[in-house]
Structure 1
Amino acid sequence: MIDVRNLSVSYGDLRALDDVSVDIADGEFVTVVGPSGCGKTTLLRTIGGLESPTTGRVRVDGDPPEVAQSDARLGFVFQDHTLLPWKTALENVTFLRRMAGKEPDSEGARDLLATTGLDGFEDARPAELSGGMKQRVAIARAIHLGADVLLMDEPFGELDEITRDEMGVEILRLWRENRKTVVFVTHSVPEAVFLGDRCLVVSGAPAVDGPTSPASGTGAPGRIVAEFDIDLPRPRDESVFGSEAFGRAVAEVRGALHDDA
């Protein structure tokens, strides 16, 4: 279980997040949606132990994120796939597990590549793979690590719309099979509704959304302004997009974003 309590994160005089509290249950798929610069990536990074709270606390199964990270209980998938260009797809999948001091499971890694549609590409290097294929390798790598929690920051952000939809279906299938806890950050309201058991709406206008972004002024800190239980049947596939229930849920989430704006 992820427990975020009264979390605030500041960079100098700039507050990126203010008084954020949320609980995420084991095996839950939670999406986080909001405009650029609202602090949602800061929230994800703090849950993952890549940022430190200024005030408040974060716990993963009762432990600080840094402890969960050192125990390889947290897996990350970023918008940039961060694959090592000199390693094959199979070597990239097993790499993090090796770095965590765990014995890699080559057959398990091959099976993961096959289930993500990459059967036959085990020996291909990143330069030989499309954008969607690279993200499939990155997702397989995070799952192969054996982490209980997957933290995903705009992993489909650079993909075309059709590939994004296909990847969404793929990640839901992998989630059903592995039942990890997933926190998924996105700018896309339809994507957030399609994927999530629950959708958190973050709003605010901080000048940065992480320590590498230059300060560009002042703004309101990020806060969770609404959350929605997504009452759509599972399993889900592309047919959900045309349903009235999906359209209503998207309109409700968009309404919360625009009302706060």
Structure 2
Amino acid sequence: MIHAENLSVSYGDLRALADVDLDVADGEFVTVVGPSGCGKTTLLRTIGGLEEPTTGEVTVDGDPPAVAQSAARLGFVFQEHTLLPWKTAIENVTFLRRMAGKDADSAGARDLLATTGLDGFEDARPSELSGGMKQRVAIARAIHLGADVLLMDEPFGELDEITRDEMSVEILRLWRENRKTVVFVTHSVPEAVFLGDRCLVVAADTEGDPTADGAPGRVVAEFDVDLPRPRDESVFGSEAFGAQVARVRGALHGDT
């Protein structure tokens, strides 16, 4: 589904991302975790066609990202919900689909809002919704677009810990029902482990001369998340979950 080979992205003399090889299978949920400034978002934006590779290539189902994006096969969910403030929840959900020239499917949009816990809020505007509710609308909008791939960049970053946990459970339920291919960027190691089939650890490469080459982000480790599905809040207290989180944190901090 998603293939990247020898992918590097530079901004002038600054290398943001270097030598990334990546394959994400159809229907797979892959999380990307790392510190701020390590290239996680650059990787996601390049997969989504919002940034151009400096070297290497990336394809989505065999096509350049720009082609997949123009065909509405890519859906984005950002840290900021980017809802249109003058539109109601249901109008926001159907907006991207209308822009892509597809039937808005208002009944389907209402069903999605109901499954995300927003039954009765279809006519509410963003100013009337909490942060978690706004993100639910943004997620419903991306799914309603009918995209094959969901690219999610810290979508729960502005939420409190309890709401983040609730939203993580919610996104897994929606993923099971819709079985999209998901690449999910986060700063949170527990979140990355809880959500993913696989977890990629991205870190800035400080080897060599940082003044000449910058500190580009690289995939420094990759883990298969060996936790059974479906997952709910009970996973957080399990020994297996704690062990997996410790492994990922070790890689993130350079432990061998």
Q: Tell me the equivalent position of 2:230.
A: 235
Q: What SS does the aligned partner of 1:147 have?
A: coil
Which 4+ stretches in 1 moved above 2 angstroms? 216-219
Q: Tell me the equivalent position of 1:111.
A: 111
Alignment partner of 1:142 is 2:152: no
Q: Tell me the equivalent position of 1:175.
A: 175
Q: Output the CA distance in 1 between the equivalents of 2:47 and 2:135.
A: 22
Q: Which moved more, 1:132-141 or 1:216-225?
A: 216-225
Q: Output the CA distance in 2 between the equivalents of 1:21 and 1:260.
A: 22
| Change in 2 beyond 3 A, CA 1:39/1:260 | farther
Q: Output the CA distance in 1 between the equivalents of 2:251 and 2:65.
A: 30
Q: Tell me the equivalent position of 2:254.
A: 259
| Superposition TM-score, scaled by structure 1 size | 0.94
| Change in 2 beyond 3 A, CA 1:66/1:123 | same
Q: Output the CA distance in 2 between the equivalents of 1:217 and 1:58.
A: 26
- Whether the 8 Å contact between 1:68 and 1:74 is mirrored in structure 2 is yes
1:39-188 matches, within 5 Å, as 39-188=39-188
Alignment partner of 1:245 is 2:230: no
Q: Tell me the equivalent position of 2:31.
A: 31
| Superposition TM-score, scaled by structure 2 size | 0.96
Post-superposition offset of 1:259 = 1.1
AA aligned to 1:244 is E
- Whether the 8 Å contact between 2:26 and 2:180 is mirrored in structure 1 is yes
| Change in 2 beyond 3 A, CA 1:260/1:18 | farther
Q: What SS does the aligned partner of 1:259 have?
A: coil
- Whether the 8 Å contact between 2:6 and 2:57 is mirrored in structure 1 is yes
1:221 maps to which of 216, 223, 236 = 216
Unmatched 5+ residue regions in structure 2? none
- Whether the 8 Å contact between 1:35 and 1:187 is mirrored in structure 2 is yes
Q: Output the CA distance in 1 between the equivalents of 2:192 and 2:155.
A: 12
Unmatched 5+ residue regions in structure 1? 207-215
CA shift digits 1:38-90 (9 cap, x unpaired)? 00000000000000000000000000000000000000000000000000000
AA aligned to 2:244 is A
- Whether the 8 Å contact between 2:13 and 2:213 is mirrored in structure 1 is no
CA shift digits 1:133-171 (9 cap, x unpaired)? 000000000000000000000000000000000000000
Post-superposition offset of 1:205 = 6.3
Q: Output the CA distance in 2 between the equivalents of 1:217 and 1:147.
A: 40
Q: Tell me the equivalent position of 1:20.
A: 20
